[in-house]
């Protein structure tokens, strides 16, 4: 059983976010702190000029609201937004907050993953704590 669990959340349509959240509930102690973390990737400068002025603020509010709703399904859970690259952002947050388990969803690897790597692969290789990958 784990006391401090990090669950990175991707809102991509092909990701199942229910399985990692359910697993966090099963693997955590009754008083476990669960953090649902979403990393907001930076919009390239050339693209930002084509977006409405309040687009980024509205997006952050919507993402935080969704994380907060997901967090209601677990006791002692909270949603956190951070900025950065997904893999590095997860690892940086984990280094600063010392979870004892990261539960991360992964897709089935394809050819592009052999060349570029995936977020789950980066987390598995570099995390200082246990990592549980859910497919």
Instruction: Give the chain's domain count.
Output: 1
Average pLDDT in the 90-104 region? Answer: 98
Give Dmax (Cα) for the chain.
48
Which pLDDT score, from 0 to 100, does residue 103 have?
Answer: 98
CB 78: neighbour CB atoms within 10 A? 13
Torsion of CA 77, 78, 81, 82, to 10 degrees: -70
Between CA 68 and CA 72 the distance in angstroms is 7
For the stretch 8-57, pLDDT in tens is 999 988 778 999 999 999 999 999 999 999 999 988 888 888 888 898 89
Expressed as residue numbers, the domain containing 90 is: 2-134
Burial tier of 69 (Cβ tally within 10 Å: 0-12, 13-18, 19+)? exposed
Report if pTM > 0.85: yes
pLDDT band at 100 (very low <50, low <70, confident <90, very high): very high
Which pLDDT score, from 0 to 100, does residue 115 have?
Answer: 46
CATH code for position 95: 3.40.50.620
106 neighbors 120 (Cβ within 8 angstroms): yes
């Amino acid at each position: 059983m784990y006391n401090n669990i990090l669950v990175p959340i991707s809102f991509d349509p092909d990701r199942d976010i229910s399985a990692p959240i359910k697993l966090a509930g099963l693997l955590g102690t009754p008083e476990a702190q669960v953090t649902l973390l979403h990393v907001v990737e930076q919009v390239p400068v050339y693209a930002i000029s084509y977006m409405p002025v309040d687009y980024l603020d509205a997006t952050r509010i919507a993402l935080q609201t969704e994380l907060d709703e997901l967090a209601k399904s677990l006791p002692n859970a909270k949603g956190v937004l951070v900025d950065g690259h997904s893999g590095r952002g997860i690892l940086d947050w984990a280094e600063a907050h010392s979870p004892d388990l990261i539960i991360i969803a992964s897709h089935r690897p394809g050819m592009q993953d052999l060349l570029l790597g995936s977020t789950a692969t980066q987390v598995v290789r570099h995390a200082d704590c246990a990592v549980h990958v859910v497919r």
